[in-house]
Amino acid sequence: MEMSEEIAKERIAKRIAQEFRLTTNRLFLNLGVGIPTMVADYVNNANVFVQAENGMLGVGPLAKSDEEDWQLINAGRQMVTMTKGCSFFDSSVSFGMIRGGHVDATVLGAFEVDEAGNIANWIIPNGKQLGVGGAMDLVSGANRVIVAIQHQDKKGKSKIKKSCALPITGFHEADLIITEYAVFAYEDGGLVLKEIAPEVTLEDIRMMTEAAYKVSATVKTMNVA
């Protein structure tokens, strides 16, 4: 399978946005850095309120050059805008929201995810980085955890593993895994393939996925528009 990284990421972000597009209740959403940040561009629903863990509810789109306010950033240090009704609060309130179960969903990127729903996204132990961020709080505190991940690494190896090899961020925390080729839900203790992209077959997914999974009886074609 060949797809440029840019197109893959855009497709993943668009498909994740569909999870939130129809809500008529207020939905509180935390977005990690990378693909998750792109999700906000496609949600198009005024009932979805984006929370940034550095202390902001009502994060708007990334700031254009004439809107830049250097004291207004998201957790990835990107300059952002405010939506109407935006509020600011300190870091303990922010993580009270997260740990207290008030955040409906979090979307995060990952290095690996596995068939037990374990997520590895905080460190590659090569001695070059030392940081954890809010990911461990988010995966354990948010009501729904959506993993945005390219199906394979640059060498074509599956990032949806039997068992994560990298240090774990949270155990049994993934609820939904969305790649450029497939959607998996974590149900009854295992992965279930729910959707596949229009250009791939069930056999293609089997070939590119290391983790064991069941195929849903109602497996659908992924909406990639």
Active site residues: 53
Q: How far is the CB of 123 from another protein (least distance, A)?
A: 8
Q: Using the rule CB under 8 A, is 18 a contact of another protein?
A: no
Interface region with another protein, contact rule CB under 8 A, candidates 91-99, 150-158, 199-207, 216-224: 91-99
Strand pairing category for 48-52 and 27-31: parallel
Q: Using the rule CB under 8 A, is 92 a contact of another protein?
A: yes
Classify each residue of 38-58 as buried b or exposed e, where b means 16 or more C-beta atoms within 10 Å of its C-beta. Answer: bbbebbeeeebbbbbbbbbbb
The backbone region for 26, taken as left when phi is positive above 0, alpha when psi lies in -120 to 50, beta otherwise, is: beta
Q: What is the largest CA-CA distance in the chain?
A: 51
Q: Using the rule CB under 8 A, is 62 a contact of another protein?
A: no
CA distance 94 to 102: 10
Query: From the list 16, 170, 181, 186, which residue makes contact with another protein (rule: CB under 8 A)?
Result: 170
Interface region with another protein, contact rule CB under 8 A, candidates 10-18, 40-48, 82-90, 152-160: 82-90
Return the bridge partners of 152, or none: 158
Q: Using the rule CB under 8 A, is 109 a contact of another protein?
A: no
CA distance 144 to 158: 23
Q: Using the rule CB under 8 A, is 71 a contact of another protein?
A: yes
Q: Using the rule CB under 8 A, is 143 a contact of another protein?
A: no
Residue 148 — φ and ψ, nearest 5°? -100, 115
Q: Using the rule CB under 8 A, is 106 a contact of another protein?
A: no
Q: Using the rule CB under 8 A, is 144 a contact of another protein?
A: no
Query: From the list 18, 62, 95, 190, which residue makes contact with another protein (rule: CB under 8 A)?
Result: 95
SS3 86: strand
Q: Using the rule CB under 8 A, is 117 a contact of another protein?
A: no
Which residue, 132 or 202, is less far from another protein as judged by CB?
132
CA distance 104 to 106: 7
Token duo for residue 75:
């957790």
Binding site for another protein (CB under 8 A): 52-56, 69-75, 77, 88-92, 94-95, 98-99, 127-137, 140-141, 167-171
